[in-house]
Amino acid sequence: MDNKKYIEDLKSILGNENVRVNENMSKHTTFRVGGNADIYIEVDSIEKLSKIIETKRNIPLTIIGNGSNILVKDNGIRGVVLKYTAKNFTINYNEDDVEVEADAGIVNAYLAQVLMNNSVSGFEFASGIPGTIGGAIYMNAGAYGKEMKDIIFNVTYLDLNDNTIHCISNDECKYEYRNSFFMNKEVIILKAMLLFTKGEKNDIKATMDKYREKRVESQPIEFPNGGSTFKRGDGFITAKLIDEAGLKGKRIGGAEISKKHAGFIINKDNATAKDILELSKYVQDEVLKKFNKKIELEVRILGE
């Protein structure tokens, strides 16, 4: 395939600054590790996205949001990595609820701030989840007893196989704990209609402040990380088992099990993806050996 011509086509649709060749993925992941993407693009509208998909040859396409739940392997990602960055939103006040239509590229913290300023309540739980709306919908992200499934009315996505746009209801999103219809499908989440209620700005702010304090206290946010490395167990708390296995502080290369929160692997000192993956495997093996419990990665592994 003629990559040069393809890159020129991408540049003519997206502008030079939004097309990068051999882009280091550590710049686009909160773990701050990972090799190069052959081609990295940022796309800020549905129209441009459709054009890109039309020009797509047989080149693999990987979608990312804010990179806060992914681990990119050290040899990078072949083909194109696409970050959808559309950031529009509308707020409609109804009698009983508030409808918010939000593009997938909006960062949760920003939307939470805007909603707070507009006295719209219901998104406080996600204000500290460091991803985009698209990533949160894909992962069914959640915190403090609430998940995305509780606030979604519908989701609009682009099917990459035939370049068609679909809008599906909350039920059709097939939400489960950190799982959704969108996983392992060739789709790009474009936007969602979210349902909230009217609230008091001061109350919303107080809740968001309380959640932020809890995160600062309990999570190792002073080091690059990918959030909870493992999923919650069925009937057990994964981080508690890792702690009881005596693994806090365990290191492989530059990766370490956080001493602050055993559920987080941190990039302590120039870790590679290999270090993080080896440490994850070590944790899984130890927990299986000591407690006979299988623990699954929550972080999604990309690349080679």
Ligand X SMILES: Cc1cc2nc3c(=O)[nH]c(=O)nc-3n(C[C@H](O)[C@H](O)[C@H](O)COP(=O)(O)OP(=O)(O)OC[C@H]3O[C@@H](n4cnc5c(N)ncnc54)[C@H](O)[C@@H]3O)c2cc1C
68 is catalytic: no
Which residue reads 């809740």 in tokens?
207
Long-range (24+ apart) CB contacts under 8 A made by 164-167 are 165/46, 165/190
Residues 6 or more apart in contact with residue 300 via CB below 8 angstroms: 69, 70, 71
34 vs 142 by CB, closer to ligand X: 142
Structure tokens of 188? 């790009």
Annotated catalytic residue 296: no
Give the nearer residue to ligand X in terms of CB position, either 174 or 198.
174
Nearest alpha-carbon partner for 6 in 36, 28, 38: 38
In the range 274-293, which residues lie near ligand X by CB under 6 A? none
Q: Which stretch binds ligand X (CB under 6 A): 19-27, 93-101, 140-148, 163-171?
A: 140-148
Let me know if 212 is a catalytic residue. Answer: no
How far is 25 from 64, CA to CA, in rounded Å?
11
Residue with tokens 């509308």: 90
227 is a site residue for ligand X (CB under 6 A): yes
Q: Which of these is catalytic: 23, 42, 256, 298?
A: 298
Which among 23, 127, 178, 256 is annotated as catalytic?
A: 178
Site for ligand X in 145-204 (CB under 6 A): 182, 187-189
We find the least distance from the C-beta atom of residue 9 to ligand X, in angstroms, to be 22
Characterize the bridge pairing of strands 61-64 and 77-84. Answer: parallel
Contact flags string 4-43 toward ligand X, x per CB under 6 A: --------------------------x-------------
* Start-end of H helices in the chain: 3-14, 46-55, 108-117, 133-139, 201-218, 238-244, 273-291
Stretch that binds ligand X, among 3-11, 64-72, 159-167, 288-296 (CB under 6 A): 64-72
Q: By CB under 6 A, is residue 80 in contact with ligand X?
A: no
Shortest CB 301 distance to ligand X, Å = 9
Stretch that binds ligand X, among 6-14, 131-139, 163-171, 289-297 (CB under 6 A): 131-139
Report the phi/psi class of residue 34: left, alpha or beta, with left for phi > 0 and alpha for psi in -120 to 50. Answer: left
Contact predicate 149/175, CB 8 Å:
yes
What is the residue type of 279?
Answer: L
Is there a contact between 103 and 75 (Cβ–Cβ < 8 Å)?
Answer: no
Q: Is 66 in the site for ligand X (CB under 6 A)?
A: yes
Residue from 63, 81, 283, 295 binding ligand X (CB under 6 A): 63
Q: Pull the structure tokens for residue 98.
A: 């508030």
Stretch that binds ligand X, among 9-17, 39-47, 65-73, 276-284 (CB under 6 A): 65-73
Q: Which residue out of 68, 228, 258, 280 is catalytically annotated?
A: 228
Which tokens go with 170?
Answer: 């909350």
- Active site amino acids: 178, 228, 298
Interface residues with ligand X (CB under 6 A)? 30, 63-70, 84, 104, 129-132, 134-136, 138-139, 141-143, 182, 187-189, 219, 221, 225-227, 300
